[in-house]
Copies of this chain bind each other. A is one copy, B any other.
């Protein structure tokens, strides 16, 4: 659970704890372009396994970052979307993307396996 209470000495530390790991931000990134279903996310968030996706979707929902909507249909349909809270992560994503674009360039020339 990500509901452990602890003392945070600074806001940066707090945020890191909230969004740590390689998946949460990538999930939010995908949802930025509109609500998505579980299976869509599995495809779009490359490399994620069902287990990791479930786990992080649950966490993110509890944190109030995403919203989970169930449609009572056959076949079942569940859509995930960002809350207002979640949208506030955009600046973080943008800064990560910005830095990444610049520094990925630098790695051109090194081999990619």
> Interface of A with B (CB < 8 Å)?
5-18, 20-22, 25-26, 29, 46, 85, 88-89, 91-104, 110-113
Residues on the B chain within 8 Å of A111, using CB: 5
Chain A interface mostly? helix
Are B14 and A22 neighbours in the complex by a CB distance under 8 Å? no
Q: Which B residues lie within 8 Å of A101 (CB)?
A: 11
Q: Is the CB of A97 within 8 A of B12?
A: yes
Among B26, B98, B112, contact of A16 (Cβ-Cβ < 8 Å): B26
| A–B Cβ pairs within 8 angstroms, 11 of them | A5-B112, A6-B113, A8-B100, A11-B97, A11-B100, A12-B26, A12-B100, A14-B104, A16-B25, A16-B96, A20-B20
CB-CB < 8 A to A91: which residues of B? Answer: 95, 98-99
When the two chains form their complex, are residues B11 and A96 in contact, meaning their CB atoms are under 8 A apart? yes
Extra inter-chain contacts (4) besides given A11-B96, A13-B26, CB under 8 Å? A6-B113, A10-B97, A20-B20, A91-B95
Q: Are A96 and B22 in contact (CB under 8 A)?
A: no
